[in-house]
Chain A
Amino acid sequence: MSATTDAATLGIEEVVEFRGETTISIPLEKLEETLKKCRDDLNYELLHDISSLDHLGEEPRFEMVYELATLDDSKHLRIKTKVAEDVEVPTASGIWKTANWHEREVYDMMGIKFADHPQMERILMWEGFPYFPLRKDFPLAGKESEMPDVAFTGVAPLEGGPFVTSPGSTNGEPRAKGES
Protein backbone atom coordinates (compact mmCIF):
# COMPACT_ATOMS: atom_id res chain seq x y z
CA MET A 1 0.00 0.00 0.00
CA SER A 2 1.19 3.47 -0.84
CA ALA A 3 -0.27 6.88 -0.22
CA THR A 4 -1.43 6.97 -3.84
CA THR A 5 -3.40 3.74 -3.58
CA ASP A 6 -4.79 4.97 -0.27
CA ALA A 7 -6.17 7.98 -2.09
CA ALA A 8 -7.91 5.62 -4.47
CA THR A 9 -9.27 3.62 -1.53
CA LEU A 10 -10.71 6.82 -0.15
CA GLY A 11 -12.39 7.42 -3.49
CA ILE A 12 -10.40 10.55 -4.30
CA GLU A 13 -9.75 11.00 -7.98
CA GLU A 14 -7.75 14.20 -7.85
CA VAL A 15 -4.34 13.30 -6.46
CA VAL A 16 -1.33 15.59 -6.72
CA GLU A 17 2.02 13.84 -6.79
CA PHE A 18 4.99 16.12 -6.37
CA ARG A 19 8.51 14.88 -5.60
CA GLY A 20 7.21 11.76 -3.92
CA GLU A 21 4.67 13.64 -1.84
CA THR A 22 1.02 12.77 -2.15
CA THR A 23 -1.59 15.47 -1.68
CA ILE A 24 -5.34 15.11 -1.87
CA SER A 25 -7.97 17.81 -1.67
CA ILE A 26 -11.38 17.06 -0.23
CA PRO A 27 -14.47 19.12 0.54
CA LEU A 28 -14.92 20.20 4.14
CA GLU A 29 -18.00 17.99 4.62
CA LYS A 30 -15.94 14.88 3.99
CA LEU A 31 -13.02 15.92 6.20
CA GLU A 32 -13.92 14.23 9.48
CA GLU A 33 -14.96 10.99 7.79
CA THR A 34 -11.80 10.91 5.66
CA LEU A 35 -9.47 11.58 8.59
CA LYS A 36 -11.17 8.81 10.60
CA LYS A 37 -10.74 6.39 7.71
CA CYS A 38 -7.09 7.31 7.41
CA ARG A 39 -6.55 6.68 11.09
CA ASP A 40 -8.59 3.49 11.46
CA ASP A 41 -8.38 1.73 8.10
CA LEU A 42 -5.24 3.04 6.42
CA ASN A 43 -2.86 2.98 9.40
CA TYR A 44 -2.06 6.68 9.51
CA GLU A 45 -1.42 6.59 13.24
CA LEU A 46 0.58 9.78 13.25
CA LEU A 47 -0.60 13.34 12.70
CA HIS A 48 2.56 15.28 11.96
CA ASP A 49 1.11 18.73 11.68
CA ILE A 50 -1.93 20.83 11.03
CA SER A 51 -1.46 24.12 9.27
CA SER A 52 -3.60 26.65 7.51
CA LEU A 53 -3.33 28.95 4.52
CA ASP A 54 -4.88 32.32 3.90
CA HIS A 55 -5.77 32.87 0.23
CA LEU A 56 -6.82 36.48 0.71
CA GLY A 57 -9.06 37.64 -2.13
CA GLU A 58 -10.15 34.14 -3.10
CA GLU A 59 -13.28 32.28 -2.18
CA PRO A 60 -13.21 30.29 -0.01
CA ARG A 61 -10.57 32.22 1.85
CA PHE A 62 -8.81 29.65 4.04
CA GLU A 63 -7.39 26.21 3.52
CA MET A 64 -6.58 23.58 6.14
CA VAL A 65 -3.64 21.22 5.64
CA TYR A 66 -3.23 17.93 7.52
CA GLU A 67 0.05 16.01 7.34
CA LEU A 68 -0.43 12.33 8.06
CA ALA A 69 2.13 9.55 8.40
CA THR A 70 2.39 5.97 9.54
CA LEU A 71 4.41 5.09 12.60
CA ASP A 72 6.88 3.04 10.54
CA ASP A 73 7.34 6.08 8.28
CA SER A 74 6.49 4.05 5.17
CA LYS A 75 3.97 6.48 3.76
CA HIS A 76 2.94 10.09 4.08
CA LEU A 77 -0.30 11.73 3.04
CA ARG A 78 -1.26 15.40 2.89
CA ILE A 79 -4.94 16.28 3.05
CA LYS A 80 -6.16 19.73 2.13
CA THR A 81 -9.57 21.24 2.47
CA LYS A 82 -10.88 24.71 1.71
CA VAL A 83 -12.67 26.62 4.42
CA ALA A 84 -14.75 29.74 3.98
CA GLU A 85 -14.61 32.58 6.46
CA ASP A 86 -16.71 32.12 9.63
CA VAL A 87 -17.11 28.40 8.96
CA GLU A 88 -16.14 26.03 11.75
CA VAL A 89 -13.96 23.04 10.96
CA PRO A 90 -14.70 19.74 12.73
CA THR A 91 -11.97 19.04 15.26
CA ALA A 92 -9.52 16.21 14.69
CA SER A 93 -8.61 16.05 18.36
CA GLY A 94 -10.93 13.08 18.82
CA ILE A 95 -8.96 11.17 16.18
CA TRP A 96 -5.42 12.23 17.09
CA LYS A 97 -4.96 13.79 20.53
CA THR A 98 -2.09 15.92 19.23
CA ALA A 99 -4.55 17.80 17.04
CA ASN A 100 -5.68 19.66 20.16
CA TRP A 101 -2.72 22.03 20.31
CA HIS A 102 -2.24 22.22 16.54
CA GLU A 103 -5.81 23.40 16.16
CA ARG A 104 -5.43 25.90 18.95
CA GLU A 105 -2.41 27.31 17.12
CA VAL A 106 -4.41 27.55 13.88
CA TYR A 107 -7.16 29.34 15.78
CA ASP A 108 -4.65 31.66 17.46
CA MET A 109 -2.81 32.65 14.30
CA MET A 110 -5.50 32.43 11.62
CA GLY A 111 -8.79 32.70 13.45
CA ILE A 112 -10.31 29.48 12.14
CA LYS A 113 -12.55 27.93 14.78
CA PHE A 114 -12.94 24.22 15.37
CA ALA A 115 -16.26 22.67 16.25
CA ASP A 116 -16.37 20.39 19.33
CA HIS A 117 -12.80 21.21 20.27
CA PRO A 118 -12.27 20.52 24.01
CA GLN A 119 -10.51 23.84 24.66
CA MET A 120 -10.89 26.39 21.88
CA GLU A 121 -8.53 29.05 23.27
CA ARG A 122 -5.45 30.84 22.04
CA ILE A 123 -2.21 28.98 22.65
CA LEU A 124 0.57 31.48 21.88
CA MET A 125 -0.96 34.91 22.24
CA TRP A 126 -2.97 35.77 25.32
CA GLU A 127 -6.73 35.47 25.58
CA GLY A 128 -8.09 38.86 24.64
CA PHE A 129 -5.54 39.70 21.96
CA PRO A 130 -7.81 41.18 19.33
CA TYR A 131 -6.12 40.08 16.09
CA PHE A 132 -5.08 36.99 14.16
CA PRO A 133 -1.47 37.76 13.23
CA LEU A 134 -0.82 35.29 10.41
CA ARG A 135 -3.71 36.50 8.28
CA LYS A 136 -2.60 38.18 5.10
CA ASP A 137 -4.35 41.45 5.96
CA PHE A 138 -2.47 41.73 9.26
CA PRO A 139 0.60 43.95 8.81
CA LEU A 140 4.01 42.41 9.45
CA ALA A 141 4.83 45.25 11.83
CA GLY A 142 1.89 44.41 14.04
CA LYS A 143 -0.90 46.52 15.44
CA GLU A 144 -1.33 48.26 18.73
CA SER A 145 -3.33 46.59 21.42
CA GLU A 146 -3.63 46.99 25.16
CA MET A 147 -4.83 44.72 27.93
CA PRO A 148 -4.00 46.35 31.26
CA ASP A 149 -1.98 44.09 33.58
CA VAL A 150 -1.82 41.35 30.95
CA ALA A 151 0.06 42.45 27.88
CA PHE A 152 0.29 45.08 25.21
CA THR A 153 1.59 45.20 21.66
CA GLY A 154 3.01 47.98 19.53
CA VAL A 155 3.95 48.68 15.95
CA ALA A 156 7.50 47.71 14.99
CA PRO A 157 9.45 50.15 12.80
CA LEU A 158 10.00 48.47 9.45
CA GLU A 159 11.42 51.35 7.41
CA GLY A 160 14.97 50.48 6.47
CA GLY A 161 14.77 47.21 8.34
CA PRO A 162 16.26 43.96 7.11
CA PHE A 163 13.02 42.58 5.76
CA VAL A 164 11.90 45.47 3.63
CA THR A 165 11.80 44.42 0.01
CA SER A 166 12.68 47.00 -2.58
CA PRO A 167 9.73 48.86 -4.09
CA GLY A 168 8.52 47.36 -7.32
CA SER A 169 9.58 43.80 -6.67
CA THR A 170 6.58 41.53 -6.74
CA ASN A 171 8.05 38.37 -5.29
CA GLY A 172 8.15 39.41 -1.66
CA GLU A 173 5.37 39.63 0.81
CA PRO A 174 3.32 42.63 -0.33
CA ARG A 175 2.73 43.82 3.23
CA ALA A 176 6.46 44.08 3.99
CA LYS A 177 7.32 46.86 1.57
CA GLY A 178 8.23 49.50 4.07
CA GLU A 179 4.72 49.84 5.35
CA SER A 180 4.26 49.39 9.05
Chain B
Amino acid sequence: MEASDSTLSHAAYDSKIEGNIIFTRLDAAINWMRKNSLWPMPMGLACCAIELMATASSRFDISRFGAEVMRFSPRQADVMIVAGTVTYKMALAVKRIWDQMPEPKWCIAMGACASSGGMYRSYAVLQGIDRLIPVDVYISGCPPRPEALIEGLMKLQEKIEQEESFKSQKTEPVEA
Protein backbone atom coordinates (compact mmCIF):
# COMPACT_ATOMS: atom_id res chain seq x y z
CA MET B 1 0.00 0.00 0.00
CA GLU B 2 1.43 3.28 -1.03
CA ALA B 3 0.91 6.26 1.07
CA SER B 4 2.54 9.63 1.30
CA ASP B 5 3.04 11.40 4.62
CA SER B 6 -0.02 13.51 4.13
CA THR B 7 -2.32 10.58 3.56
CA LEU B 8 -0.77 8.69 6.44
CA SER B 9 -1.87 11.33 8.89
CA HIS B 10 -5.44 10.76 7.75
CA ALA B 11 -5.17 7.01 7.77
CA ALA B 12 -7.18 6.92 10.94
CA TYR B 13 -10.24 8.01 9.02
CA ASP B 14 -11.70 5.51 6.61
CA SER B 15 -14.86 6.64 4.88
CA LYS B 16 -15.76 3.05 4.02
CA ILE B 17 -16.70 2.39 7.59
CA GLU B 18 -18.56 5.69 7.81
CA GLY B 19 -16.05 7.35 10.11
CA ASN B 20 -17.22 5.35 13.09
CA ILE B 21 -13.77 4.20 14.06
CA ILE B 22 -11.01 6.58 15.07
CA PHE B 23 -7.48 5.52 15.85
CA THR B 24 -5.65 7.45 18.46
CA ARG B 25 -3.32 7.05 21.38
CA LEU B 26 -4.89 5.86 24.62
CA ASP B 27 -3.41 8.78 26.53
CA ALA B 28 -4.79 11.27 24.06
CA ALA B 29 -8.25 9.73 24.27
CA ILE B 30 -8.27 9.58 28.05
CA ASN B 31 -6.95 13.10 28.38
CA TRP B 32 -9.43 14.40 25.82
CA MET B 33 -12.29 12.92 27.78
CA ARG B 34 -10.98 14.15 31.09
CA LYS B 35 -10.18 17.68 30.11
CA ASN B 36 -13.51 18.38 28.46
CA SER B 37 -15.60 17.15 31.33
CA LEU B 38 -14.07 18.61 34.47
CA TRP B 39 -16.54 18.57 37.30
CA PRO B 40 -15.56 21.29 39.75
CA MET B 41 -15.84 21.15 43.51
CA PRO B 42 -16.56 24.80 44.29
CA MET B 43 -14.68 25.56 47.48
CA GLY B 44 -16.09 29.07 47.82
CA LEU B 45 -14.68 30.69 50.93
CA ALA B 46 -14.82 34.42 50.24
CA CYS B 47 -15.48 37.01 47.56
CA CYS B 48 -13.75 34.91 44.85
CA ALA B 49 -16.76 32.63 45.13
CA ILE B 50 -18.92 35.44 43.72
CA GLU B 51 -16.73 35.56 40.63
CA LEU B 52 -16.82 31.78 40.49
CA MET B 53 -20.63 31.95 40.45
CA ALA B 54 -20.52 34.62 37.77
CA THR B 55 -18.24 32.37 35.70
CA ALA B 56 -20.76 29.59 36.00
CA SER B 57 -23.74 31.70 35.01
CA SER B 58 -24.96 32.73 31.58
CA ARG B 59 -22.83 35.75 30.77
CA PHE B 60 -19.51 33.93 31.00
CA ASP B 61 -20.83 30.37 30.91
CA ILE B 62 -18.15 27.96 32.04
CA SER B 63 -20.12 25.14 30.39
CA ARG B 64 -18.53 26.21 27.10
CA PHE B 65 -15.44 24.53 28.54
CA GLY B 66 -17.21 21.50 29.92
CA ALA B 67 -16.85 22.46 33.56
CA GLU B 68 -20.38 23.48 34.44
CA VAL B 69 -21.28 20.50 36.60
CA MET B 70 -20.57 21.94 40.03
CA ARG B 71 -20.56 19.06 42.47
CA PHE B 72 -21.04 19.71 46.15
CA SER B 73 -20.08 16.14 46.87
CA PRO B 74 -16.32 15.68 46.71
CA ARG B 75 -16.76 12.09 45.58
CA GLN B 76 -18.20 13.28 42.27
CA ALA B 77 -15.71 16.07 41.61
CA ASP B 78 -12.56 16.25 39.48
CA VAL B 79 -11.18 19.70 40.16
CA MET B 80 -11.31 21.65 43.38
CA ILE B 81 -11.52 25.37 42.80
CA VAL B 82 -10.35 26.98 46.03
CA ALA B 83 -11.98 30.38 45.75
CA GLY B 84 -11.25 32.62 48.68
CA THR B 85 -9.40 33.11 51.93
CA VAL B 86 -8.46 29.87 53.65
CA THR B 87 -8.45 30.51 57.37
CA TYR B 88 -6.65 28.14 59.69
CA LYS B 89 -10.03 27.23 61.11
CA MET B 90 -11.19 26.10 57.66
CA ALA B 91 -7.89 24.66 56.46
CA LEU B 92 -8.27 21.09 57.66
CA ALA B 93 -11.86 20.99 56.41
CA VAL B 94 -10.62 21.90 52.92
CA LYS B 95 -7.95 19.20 53.21
CA ARG B 96 -10.52 16.65 54.31
CA ILE B 97 -12.75 17.40 51.32
CA TRP B 98 -9.73 17.21 49.02
CA ASP B 99 -8.86 13.80 50.45
CA GLN B 100 -12.37 12.58 49.70
CA MET B 101 -12.11 13.45 46.02
CA PRO B 102 -11.28 10.42 43.87
CA GLU B 103 -8.27 10.30 41.58
CA PRO B 104 -7.60 11.75 39.12
CA LYS B 105 -8.07 15.15 40.70
CA TRP B 106 -6.73 18.62 40.18
CA CYS B 107 -6.73 21.86 42.12
CA ILE B 108 -7.08 25.46 41.02
CA ALA B 109 -6.05 28.12 43.53
CA MET B 110 -8.27 31.01 42.56
CA GLY B 111 -7.16 34.47 43.60
CA ALA B 112 -4.48 35.96 45.81
CA CYS B 113 -5.74 34.53 49.11
CA ALA B 114 -5.92 30.92 48.00
CA SER B 115 -2.55 31.24 46.25
CA SER B 116 -0.54 32.98 48.96
CA GLY B 117 -2.73 34.29 51.75
CA GLY B 118 -3.15 37.51 49.78
CA MET B 119 -3.43 40.64 51.85
CA TYR B 120 -4.01 38.62 55.00
CA ARG B 121 -0.58 38.35 56.58
CA SER B 122 -2.14 37.41 59.85
CA TYR B 123 -2.47 34.87 62.62
CA ALA B 124 -5.78 33.63 61.24
CA VAL B 125 -5.06 32.90 57.57
CA LEU B 126 -3.26 30.00 55.93
CA GLN B 127 -0.58 31.47 53.66
CA GLY B 128 -1.65 29.65 50.52
CA ILE B 129 -3.63 26.45 50.05
CA ASP B 130 -0.54 24.86 48.49
CA ARG B 131 0.75 24.40 52.03
CA LEU B 132 -1.85 21.69 52.42
CA ILE B 133 -2.78 20.32 49.01
CA PRO B 134 -0.98 20.27 45.64
CA VAL B 135 -2.08 23.05 43.32
CA ASP B 136 -2.07 22.73 39.51
CA VAL B 137 -3.01 26.25 38.45
CA TYR B 138 -2.73 29.53 40.32
CA ILE B 139 -4.92 32.44 39.21
CA SER B 140 -3.87 35.96 40.15
CA GLY B 141 -6.37 38.65 40.98
CA CYS B 142 -8.27 39.94 43.97
CA PRO B 143 -10.69 38.61 43.01
CA PRO B 144 -9.88 37.41 39.47
CA ARG B 145 -12.44 38.27 36.83
CA PRO B 146 -14.40 35.38 35.30
CA GLU B 147 -12.21 35.60 32.20
CA ALA B 148 -9.19 34.86 34.38
CA LEU B 149 -10.84 31.81 35.88
CA ILE B 150 -11.72 30.55 32.40
CA GLU B 151 -8.12 31.18 31.33
CA GLY B 152 -6.98 29.20 34.36
CA LEU B 153 -9.35 26.39 33.44
CA MET B 154 -7.97 26.35 29.89
CA LYS B 155 -4.45 26.22 31.31
CA LEU B 156 -5.49 23.23 33.38
CA GLN B 157 -6.95 21.61 30.27
CA GLU B 158 -3.63 22.13 28.50
CA LYS B 159 -1.86 20.56 31.45
CA ILE B 160 -4.20 17.56 31.44
CA GLU B 161 -3.50 17.13 27.72
CA GLN B 162 0.18 16.60 28.51
CA GLU B 163 -0.36 13.99 31.21
CA GLU B 164 0.61 10.37 30.71
CA SER B 165 -2.68 9.15 32.03
CA PHE B 166 -2.36 5.50 31.07
CA LYS B 167 1.23 5.00 32.11
CA SER B 168 1.10 6.66 35.43
CA GLN B 169 -2.05 7.38 37.33
CA LYS B 170 -1.81 10.72 39.05
CA THR B 171 -1.52 9.55 42.61
CA GLU B 172 -0.91 11.09 45.92
CA PRO B 173 -0.08 9.07 49.01
CA VAL B 174 -3.08 9.02 51.32
CA GLU B 175 -2.13 9.32 54.93
CA ALA B 176 -3.64 6.63 57.06
**Contact residue among B91, B92, B123, B126 (Cβ-Cβ distance under 8 Å from A133):** B123
Asked whether A150 lies within 8 Å of B121 as measured between CB atoms, the reply is no
Task: From known contacts A154-B127, A156-B127, A157-B127, infer whether A141 and B89 are also in contact, taking CB-CB under 8 Å.
Answer: no
Asked whether A151 lies within 8 Å of B122 as measured between CB atoms, the reply is no
**Contact residue among B91, B120, B122 (Cβ-Cβ distance under 8 Å from A152):** B91
Residues from chain A with Cβ under 8 Å of B92 in the complex: 149-152
Q: Report the Cα distance A158→B125, complex, angstroms.
A: 13
Any chain A CB within 8 A of the CB of B117?
Answer: yes
Q: Report the Cα distance A20→B122, complex, angstroms.
A: 35
Q: Which parts of A114-149 form the interface with B (CB within 8 Å)? A: 124-126, 131, 133, 138-143, 149
Chain B contact residues (Cβ within 8 angstroms of A): what range? 10 to 19
**Contact residue among B119, B127, B131 (Cβ-Cβ distance under 8 Å from A162):** B119
Asked whether B88 lies within 8 Å of A156 as measured between CB atoms, the reply is no
Residues from chain A with Cβ under 8 Å of B124 in the complex: 125, 133, 142, 153
- By the criterion of a CB under 8 Å from any partner CB, how many residues of chain A are at the interface? 23
Q: Residue on A with the closest CB to B120? A: A156
Asked whether A156 lies within 8 Å of B89 as measured between CB atoms, the reply is no
Q: Which parts of B57-113 form the interface with A (CB within 8 Å)? A: 88-89, 91-92
Residues from chain B with Cβ under 8 Å of A141 in the complex: 121-123
Any chain B CB within 8 A of the CB of A161?
Answer: yes
A-B contact count (CB 8 A): 49
Majority DSSP secondary structure for residues of A touching B = loop
**Contact residue among B88, B117, B120, B127 (Cβ-Cβ distance under 8 Å from A151):** B88
Asked whether B89 lies within 8 Å of A140 as measured between CB atoms, the reply is no
Asked whether A138 lies within 8 Å of B123 as measured between CB atoms, the reply is yes
Asked whether A156 lies within 8 Å of B121 as measured between CB atoms, the reply is yes
CB distance from B116 to the nearest CB of A (A): 9
Q: Report the Cα distance A149→B92, complex, angstroms.
A: 7
**Contact residue among B89, B121, B122 (Cβ-Cβ distance under 8 Å from A125):** B89
Q: Report the Cα distance A163→B127, complex, angstroms.
A: 15
Residues from chain B with Cβ under 8 Å of A161 in the complex: 121
CB distance from A149 to the nearest CB of B (A): 7
Residues from chain A with Cβ under 8 Å of B91 in the complex: 151-152
Q: Report the Cα distance A153→B125, complex, angstroms.
A: 8
Residues from chain B with Cβ under 8 Å of A125 in the complex: 89, 124
Asked whether B126 lies within 8 Å of A154 as measured between CB atoms, the reply is yes
Q: Report the Cα distance A151→B91, complex, angstroms.
A: 7
New A-B contacts (12) at CB < 8 Å, excluding given A152-B88, A161-B121: A124-B89, A125-B89, A141-B121, A142-B122, A142-B123, A142-B124, A143-B123, A151-B89, A153-B88, A153-B123, A154-B127, A156-B121
Residues of chain B having any CB pair with chain A under 8 Å: 88-89, 91-92, 117, 119-127, 131
CB-defined A-B contacts under 8 Å, sample of 7: A126-B89, A139-B123, A141-B122, A151-B92, A152-B88, A152-B92, A162-B119
